[in-house]
Amino acid sequence: MLEPKLKVAVDYEKCHPEKCNKGVCAAVLGCPTKLWKQEEPYDSPYPIPGFCQECGTCVDSCPLEAIKIL
């Protein structure tokens, strides 16, 4: 079975986890379908394939506007 394509992306030039709450990515916390991963606080977050509702929560929750819907 084909994996669903990623619907979101991070601009790593804009993403600075150290500027987020205790290094925890707000998108990781906010995504209703848990499509964001961050191994440890202060690590770079990344999206994983899955059923993205395209709700925009991750985009809206990032204070540095580092996330976009593709």
- Per CB under 6 A, contacts with ligand SF4 among 49-68 are 52-58, 62, 64, 66-67
Q: What is residue 42's three-state secondary structure?
A: coil
Q: Of 67, 61, 60, which is closest to residue 13 (Cα–Cα)?
A: 67
Binder among 5, 15, 39, 70 for ligand SF4 (CB under 6 A)? 15
Phi/psi at 58 (nearest 5 deg)? -65, -40
Q: Does 46 bind ligand SF4 (CB under 6 A)?
A: no
What does DSSP assign to residue 52?
-
Q: Does 31 bind ligand SF4 (CB under 6 A)?
A: yes
**In the numeric block, which tokens belong to residue 43?**
């690590």
Interacting residues toward ligand SF4 by CB under 6 A: 7-8, 10, 15-17, 20, 25-27, 30-33, 35, 45, 47, 52-58, 62, 64, 66-67
